[in-house]
Structure 1
Amino acid sequence: MKTLLWIAIFLGTFVAMEGMAWLTHKYVMHGFLWKLHKDHHKKDHSSWWERNDLFFVFYAIVSITCFLLWQYNGFWAGLPIGLGILAYGITYFTVHDIFIHQRFKIFRNANNRYAKGIRRAHKMHHKHLGKDDGECFGMLFVPLRYFKK
Structure 2
Amino acid sequence: MNFLIVIVVFIAMEGATWVIHKYVMHGFLWVLHRDHHDHSTDGPLERNDLFFVIFAIPAILLFYLGVQQGVNYLFYIGLGITLYGMAYFMVHDIFIHQRAKVIKKTENPYLLAIRRAHKQHHKHLGKEEGECFGFLWVPIKYFKMYFNKNK
Q: Give the TM interval when normalised to the shorter protein.
A: over 0.9
For the pair 1:57 / 2:57, whether they are aligned, the reply is no
Query: In the aligned structure 2, how far is the partner of 1:73 from the partner of 1:130?
Result: 47
The corresponding residue for 1:82 is 78
Report Cα offsets for 1:31-68 as digits up to 9, x if no partner.
01100000000011212111111111111111110010
The corresponding residue for 2:148 is none
For the pair 1:113 / 2:109, whether they are aligned, the reply is yes
Q: Structure 2 residue aligned with 1:34, among 26, 30, 44?
A: 30
When the two chains are superposed, the root-mean-square deviation of aligned CA atoms in Å is 1.1
What is the Cα deviation at residue 71 of structure 1? 1.4
The corresponding residue for 1:6 is 2
The corresponding residue for 2:20 is 24
Q: TM-score by structure 1 length?
A: 0.93
Query: In the aligned structure 2, how far is the partner of 1:26 from the partner of 1:130?
Result: 12
Between the aligned residues of both structures, percent identity stands at: 56
Query: In the aligned structure 1, how far is the partner of 2:20 from the partner of 2:121?
Result: 15
Query: In the aligned structure 1, how far is the partner of 2:36 from the partner of 2:134?
Result: 15
Query: In the aligned structure 1, how far is the partner of 2:51 from the partner of 2:107?
Result: 28
Query: In the aligned structure 1, how far is the partner of 2:69 from the partner of 2:29?
Result: 32
The corresponding residue for 1:96 is 92
What is the Cα deviation at residue 143 of structure 1? 1.0
The corresponding residue for 2:139 is 143
What is the Cα deviation at residue 74 of structure 1? 5.1
Equivalent pairs counted in the alignment come to 145
Query: In the aligned structure 1, how far is the partner of 2:126 from the partner of 2:100?
Result: 26
Gaps of 5+ in 2: 146-151
What is the Cα deviation at residue 148 of structure 1? 2.5
For the pair 1:130 / 2:133, whether they are aligned, the reply is no
Query: In the aligned structure 2, how far is the partner of 1:85 from the partner of 1:69?
Result: 14
Gaps of 5+ in 1: none
Query: In the aligned structure 2, how far is the partner of 1:79 from the partner of 1:41?
Result: 34
